[in-house]
Structure 1
Amino acid sequence: MRSPRLRMVALAAAPLLLLSACSTDGGTDGADQSDDAAATSAAPTGDVSELAVDTSGDAPQITRDGEPMAEGELPFGVAETQVEEVEAGDGDEVSEGDEVRVRYLTVNGTSGEEVLSTFEQEDPVTLDLSNELLFPAFLEELPGRRAGDALLMALPPAAAFGNQGNSQLGIGAEDTLVFYMEIVDSAAPLTKATGEEVEPEDGLPEVEADGESAATITIPDDAEAPDELVVQPLIEGEGAEVKAGQSIKVHYTGVKFSDGEGFDNSYDRGEPAEFPIGVGQVISGWDEGLVGQPVGSRVLLVIPAEQAYGEAPEQDDESQTTAPAHELAGETLVFVVDILGAY
Structure 2
Amino acid sequence: MRLLWPAVLVLVTSCGATEGGTLPVVTGTFGTRPVVSIPRGKPGRLPRMAVLSTGSGRRTMPGDVVLADVEIRRWTDNTPHLNTYDANQPATVVFDGRRVPDTWSQVLIGQPAGSRVLLVGPAAQVLGPDMDPGGMGAAETLVAVFDVLGGYPPDARLVGRPLPAVPADLTPMTPPRTLIGGSGAEVRDGAKVIVQYVAAAWPSRAAVDSSYRRGGPSAFTLVPGAVPPGWLTGLGGQRVGARVTFGSPMSGYPEGTGGPRLYVIDILDAI
Task: Report the TM range for the smaller structure's normalisation.
Answer: 0.5 to 0.7
TM-score of the superposed pair, with normalisation by structure 2? 0.55
**Structure 2 residue 120 is the aligned partner of structure 1 residue 154:** yes
Distance 1:270 1:100 in 2: 13
1:83 corresponds in structure 2 to: 49
User: What is the Cα-based RMSD across aligned positions, in Å?
Assistant: 5.4
The structural deviation recorded for 1:211 is 3.2
Which one is further off, 151-160 or 80-89? 80-89
- Conserved? CA contact 1:81–1:155, under 8 Å: yes
1:289 corresponds in structure 2 to: 230
CA-to-aligned-CA distance 1:87-140 (integer Å, 9 cap, x gap): 55565322123344545543211223344566x77x894543445544432223
Change (3 A) 1:212 1:113: closer
Distance 1:215 1:140 in 2: 38
Change (3 A) 1:90 1:108: same
1:166 corresponds in structure 2 to: 133
The structural deviation recorded for 1:176 is 1.5
Ranges in structure 1 where 5+ consecutive residues have no aligned partner: 1-28, 36-45, 63-67, 195-209, 220-224, 257-261, 281-285, 309-328
Distance 1:188 1:126 in 2: 16
Q: Which amino acid aligns with 2:231?
A: L
CA-to-aligned-CA distance 1:179-233 (integer Å, 9 cap, x gap): 2334454444563357xxxxxxxxxxxxxxx5336455258xxxxx88x553334
Distance 1:48 1:183 in 2: 26
2:15 corresponds in structure 1 to: none
Residue correspondence of structure 1 range 168-317 to structure 2 within 5 A: 172-173=136-137, 174-183=139-148, 185-189=150-154, 191-193=156-158, 210-212=161-163, 214=165, 217-218=168-169, 228=173, 230-235=175-180, 250-252=197-199, 263-265=205-207, 271-272=212-213, 287-291=228-232, 293=235, 297-302=242-247, 307=250
Q: Which amino acid aligns with 2:198?
A: H
Ranges in structure 2 where 5+ consecutive residues have no aligned partner: 7-17, 252-258
1:106 to 72, 90, 93: 72
- Give the fraction of aligned pairs with identical amino acids, expressed as a percent: 17
- Conserved? CA contact 1:190–1:296, under 8 Å: no
The count of residues paired between Structure 1 and Structure 2 equals: 233
1:50 to 11, 17, 22: 22
Distance 1:86 1:252 in 2: 38
1:128 to 90, 93, 102: 93
Change (3 A) 1:140 1:166: same
- Conserved? CA contact 1:299–1:338, under 8 Å: yes
Change (3 A) 1:337 1:235: same
1:69 to 35, 38, 56: 38
SS of the aligned residue for 1:139 comes to helix
CA-to-aligned-CA distance 1:130-173 (integer Å, 9 cap, x gap): 455444322233222334544331131222459x9633xxx622
SS of the aligned residue for 2:206 comes to strand
Q: Which amino acid aligns with 2:38?
A: M
Change (3 A) 1:249 1:52: same
Change (3 A) 1:251 1:242: farther
- Conserved? CA contact 2:76–2:141, under 8 Å: yes
SS of the aligned residue for 1:137 comes to helix
CA-to-aligned-CA distance 1:47-100 (integer Å, 9 cap, x gap): 6751142537997544xxxxx327x35xx5554422234455565322123344
Change (3 A) 1:341 1:60: closer
SS of the aligned residue for 2:124 comes to helix
- Conserved? CA contact 2:196–2:211, under 8 Å: no
TM-score of the superposed pair, with normalisation by structure 1? 0.46
